[in-house]
Amino acid sequence: MAITYATDLLYYLLMFLIWFITALLIHYFIKKFSKPENPILPPPSPPALPFIGHLHLVGKILPKSFQTLARRYGPLMQIRLGASQCVVVSNAAVAKEIMKTQELNFSSRPEFGASEYFIYRGSRFILAQYGDYWRFMKKLSMTRLLSVPQLDKFISVRDEEKIKLVESVMKCYREGKPCDLSSELTSLTNNTICRMAMSTSCSGNENDAEEIKGLIKTCLVLAGKVHIGDVLGPLKVLDFSGNGKKLMSALLKYDRIVERIMKEHEEKAEKGFAPDQRMDVMDILLGIYRDPNAEMKLTRKDIKSFLLLVEPGHIHGGDRHVISGHAMGHGRTH
């Protein structure tokens, strides 16, 4: 009985091996003979392993890993992170060719990471496909949202936050306590941006600002992780790591808080703005949302997604390009 079982096992193993080798050969010949007569050669690429591709060559510090590979394979190379094909650029001249000379050819980006769990999918300005929406948001950012006149309106806010920074440092000095200047400068930046975006201080206790700050940080950490979907392709819907569900949970909490703040801004707008009253980023976006004659109709989801973009720790200033790296949760690589 034992001999029969062992014989059957060896038979099935042999059949599996024959099937596997046959499948590889068929795939090789189909790929070889289906190539066009004058194929466009891909950039140089390191030797890849089955399934995981070049993930074994990527360390914890992504830029350093790419820098090491670039020294050997050149300023433009192709790597495969599981099921995702990427092109890494690490040279200023090549980056200029992609970002400026051939910008329209590289304007659209595939989505990587836990993008299926991003509740504002389709409203992401940085990752939006090149078209009317992206052009409108870029123009809006440059002419109104992030323009010099708009920033000048908040000079007093920046001055107030700088005074708070100095007072906090002086308090530590008077009490003889060590001062974490890195943390203080981070608070300065966070508070300034939050107040300019939606009149909210990120280090205070008002308007759930501290929770917003924590939720955005959580979203950035989870979105920045190597998602299992980048390796397993179609199996990404299973979310083995659980990061996707955590990201969605954090985004839903953020959505509820920002929705409440948006309603507060709408109530303020109904009463009317004083001639000398400054409008923050949310006020401007809500004004376009309510305007029936606006060039592009914005949704509440568009507004929340944009605010998530400009909140602390995630500012790109309207730039679509990320050089020499795979933006894991942001879906853009050159």
Encode 111-150: b = buried (16+ Cβ within 10 Å), e = exposed: bbbbbebbebeebbbbbbeeeebbebbeebbeebbbeeeb
User: How many angstroms separate the CA atoms of 282 and 288, rounded?
Assistant: 10
Does residue 126 fall inside a structural domain? no
Strand, helix or coil at 53? Answer: strand
- Higher pLDDT, residue 90 or 112: 90
Name which of 2-16, 69-83, 87-101 the model is least confident about: 2-16
230 occurs within a structural domain: yes
152 and 100 share a domain? Answer: no
Q: Which segments of 198-298 are extended strands (E)? A: none
80 vs 241: which has the higher pLDDT: 80
At 6, the pLDDT band (50, 70, 90 cuts) reads low
pLDDT over 60 at 227, yes or no = no
Residue from 141, 77, 89, 83 nearest 110 by CA: 83
| Average of per-residue pLDDT values in the chain | 77
Q: Report whether 215 contacts 250 (CB < 8 A).
A: yes
Task: Say if residue 266 is in the same domain as residue 164.
Answer: yes
Most confident region among 79-88, 206-215, 237-246, 314-323 by mean pLDDT: 79-88
Say if residue 146 is in the same domain as residue 95. Answer: no
Any idea which of 124-128, 148-152, 320-324 has the lowest mean pLDDT? 320-324
Q: Has residue 196 been placed in a domain?
A: yes
Average pLDDT score over residue span 167-188: 88
pLDDT, residue 331, reads 35
Give domain status of residue 257, yes or no. Answer: yes
pLDDT for the residue 170:
93
73 in any annotated domain: yes
pLDDT value at 204 more than 60: no
**Best-predicted range by mean pLDDT among 7-16, 204-213, 230-239?**
7-16
Percent of the chain residues topping a pLDDT of 90: 13
Question: Residue 327: pLDDT above 70?
Answer: no
Kindly state whether residue 184 falls inside one of the protein's structural domains: yes
The reply to whether 61 and 175 lie within a common domain is: no
Share of the chain above pLDDT 70, in %: 74
- Give the single-character DSSP code of 299: P
Same domain, 170 and 313: yes
Q: pLDDT tier at 316 (50, 70, 90 boundaries)?
A: very low
What is the average per-residue pLDDT within 116-127? 72
Residue 167: is its pLDDT beyond 90? yes
Tally of helices (H runs) and strands (E runs) in the chain: 12, 4
Q: How confident is the model at residue 162 (pLDDT cuts 50, 70, 90)?
A: very high
Q: 329 pLDDT exceeds 60? A: no
The better pLDDT of the pair 269, 273 is held by 269
Give the least confident one: 88-102, 167-181, 214-228, 243-257.
Answer: 214-228
User: Based on the domain organization, do 50 and 162 belong to the same domain?
Assistant: no
pTM: 0.63
3-class secondary-structure state, position 51:
coil
Buried b (16+ CB within 10 A) or exposed e, 183-197: ebeebbebbbbbbbb
Task: List the domain range (segments joined by +) for residue 65.
Answer: 42-106
Look at the chain and report how many structural domains it folds into. Answer: 2
